């Protein structure tokens, strides 16, 4: 029986590695994608993702650089919406890879309410950026449970370290995003060019 293919947004932190592991246990073929922010945090997050991919015998890691795009959001758009813009961008880029790899799903390590972008209203606005079904195997788990899983599956040491996804984020992020407002903000920039610039950085790292 052919496995369903799913693009995993792999950050290198605890959550996404556990999410990929749980979906693989359910019979999915995982295609890991790391969207890096090298200009601001360096390449160590890429190294963590490579180690996680090795742990689960995923043969390839796809990497795109989104640093310039994130800076564009900071410069051109309402800053309180930054995390919503970022998460929507991640889904758009994962969707592009899913099309290329004949995948049917996108997987994230989000859990409800853990950070500002993960309120129900924000998640609803974020997911409208893609037509792909977004699977969230950790949605009802708290951080302690997720970390417990990472210890069981052997990714705890790899994933330990500072969280860097909020490095460009606002002090007071929006928690009840308005879809019309988000679209108007995204219209301030050349969004298709922004996407194409990210895709142009795509590289494939052979893991095993």
In whole angstroms, what is the distance from residue 171 CA to residue 181 CA? 19
> If you average pLDDT over residues 105-128, what whole number do you get?
87
As a whole number, the mean pLDDT across the chain is 92
Query: How far is Cα 4 from Cα 103, in angstroms, rounded to an integer?
Result: 7
Which stretch of DSSP H or E encloses residue 152?
Answer: helix 143-153
What pLDDT is attached to residue 136?
Answer: 96
The residue with greater pLDDT, 150 or 40, is 150
Domains and CATH numbers, the chain: 5-206 (3.40.50.620)
Confidence of residue 177 (pLDDT cuts 50, 70, 90): very high
Number of Cβ within 10 Å of residue 152's Cβ equals 11
Report d(CA 170, CA 124) in Å as an integer. 20
Write down the pTM of the prediction.
0.93
Residues in the chain: 208
Kindly indicate the confidence band of residue 40, based on its pLDDT and cuts at 50, 70 and 90. Answer: low
Whether residue 163 is predicted with pLDDT greater than 70 in this model: the reply is no
Who wins on pLDDT, 94 or 161?
A: 94
pLDDT at 7: 98
Q: 193 pLDDT exceeds 80? A: yes
Question: Which of 133, 130, 131, 113 has its CA nearest to residue 122?
Answer: 113
Do residues 131 and 88 make contact, with C-beta atoms less than 8 angstroms apart? Answer: no
What is the pLDDT at residue 114? 64
Q: What is the pLDDT of residue 41?
A: 63
pLDDT band at 70 (very low <50, low <70, confident <90, very high): very high
Q: Is the pLDDT of residue 117 over 80?
A: no
Check residues 50 and 167 and name the one with the higher pLDDT: 50
């Amino acid at each position: 029986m052919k496995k369903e293919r799913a693009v995993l947004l792999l950050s290198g932190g605890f959550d996404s590695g556990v999410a990929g592991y749980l979906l693989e246990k359910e019979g999915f073929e995982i295609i890991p994608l790391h969207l890096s922010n090298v200009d601001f945090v360096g390449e160590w997050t890429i190294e963590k993702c490579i180690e996680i991919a090795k742990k689960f015998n995923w043969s390839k890691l796809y990497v795109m650089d989104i640093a310039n795009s994130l800076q564009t959001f900071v410069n051109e758009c309402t800053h309180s919406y930054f995390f919503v813009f970022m998460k929507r961008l991640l889904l758009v880029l994962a969707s592009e890879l899913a099309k290329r790899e004949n995948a049917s799903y996108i997987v994230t390590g989000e859990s409800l309410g853990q950070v500002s972008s993960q309120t129900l209203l924000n998640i609803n606005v974020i997911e409208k950026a893609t037509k792909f079904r977004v699977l969230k195997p950790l949605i009802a788990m708290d951080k302690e449970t997720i970390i417990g899983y990472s210890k069981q599956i052997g990714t705890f040491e790899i994933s330990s370290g500072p969280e860097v996804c909020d490095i460009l984020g606002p002090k007071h992020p929006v928690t009840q995003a308005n879809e019309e407002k988000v679209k108007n903000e995204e219209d301030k920039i050349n969004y298709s060019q922004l996407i194409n610039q990210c895709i142009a950085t795509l590289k494939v790292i052979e893991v095993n």
